[in-house]
Amino acid sequence: MTPIAVSLVAFAIILAGAFAGTLLRWALPGHHLADDAKDIIRLGAGLTGTIAALVLGLLIASAKSSYDTQSGQVQHLTADVVLLDQLLAQYGPEARPIRELMRQALDPLVDRLWRESGTVADAPFVATAASEAAFAKIGELTPQTDAQRSLKVRAIQVSTDLAQTRLALFVQAGSSIPMPFLAVLVFWLAIIFASFSLFSRLNPTLVAALVVFALSASAALFLILEMSQPFAGMMQIPSAPLRSALAPLGP
């Protein structure tokens, strides 16, 4: 399910919990809602609310950290691609075929990275033919001067770093919040909202307030799910900088 679909389901369940509290208030005998029962229920709802708030805070922090990490890795990947191309340009015309291979491999790399990161990574990693050929040809370069030797060493280091970053993004592909975890959190929120209406007579103002509160809670879940899938959805990491990192080679 998409993040917006999950958040809408959560909104419906949380709001249903609020109205379930009203139904219980009508159905239960009066002595079941005495002062001692109110105190226990309010204490229990407060404890559940504290746990839910802590979990929500931790999930938001974890999702934001994961989003920032993968966004930083994409920026690092882009910088490595540009740097490698510049090193090869400085090496000389012997490296032009490698630069052409890099341009051939860039669009498939971006397409595959954004596609595989939106799914569960249950298949082994396989590099594209163009990228494998480019890395192999870097090792086959035969420098004639000290400057070329230095540039080849740096190019090998950058290409290795690029490959490691690419593999790190592959390993993180498909990571998301487990659905049972979300189900328990939504259950806690539904209990809290049920306690809100259990001891209060609903009127239009309270109903509107409960809708706004339920919408706020489900919006928090939406943000968590969106940030846990940084290569898809409304908050996805843009692919344009990486796709346009290398300018076309002149004649």
In this prediction, residue 40 carries a pLDDT of: 82
Residue length of the chain:
251
Q: What is the pTM of this model?
A: 0.80
- Residue 33: band (very low, low, confident or very high) from pLDDT cuts 50, 70, 90: low
Q: How far apart are CA 219 and CA 8, in angstroms?
A: 9
Q: CA triplet 90, 93, 99: central angle to 5 degrees?
A: 75
Structural domains in the chain (count): 1
Contacts 24+ apart (CB under 8 A), 198-206: 198/21, 198/22, 198/24, 198/25, 198/33, 198/41, 199/25, 199/33, 199/38, 199/41, 202/22
Whether residue 251 lies inside any domain: the answer is no
Q: What is the pLDDT of residue 32?
A: 65
Residue 99 has pLDDT above 50, yes or no: yes
What would the mean pLDDT of 89-98 be, rounded to a whole number? Answer: 92
Q: Is the pLDDT of residue 118 over 60?
A: no
- 213: pLDDT strictly greater than 80: yes
Would 166 be classed as within a structural domain? yes
Please check whether residue 248 lies inside any domain of the structure: no
Find, among 127, 214, 233, the residue nearest to 176 by Cα: 233
**Residue 249 within a domain:** no
Quote the pLDDT of residue 120: 46
The residue whose two tokens read 């226990």 is 40
Average pLDDT (126-154) is 88
Which range of residues forms the domain containing residue 36?
3-243
Kindly state the greatest CA–CA separation across the chain.
95
In a domain, 106, yes or no: yes
Residue labelled with tokens 């309270």:
206
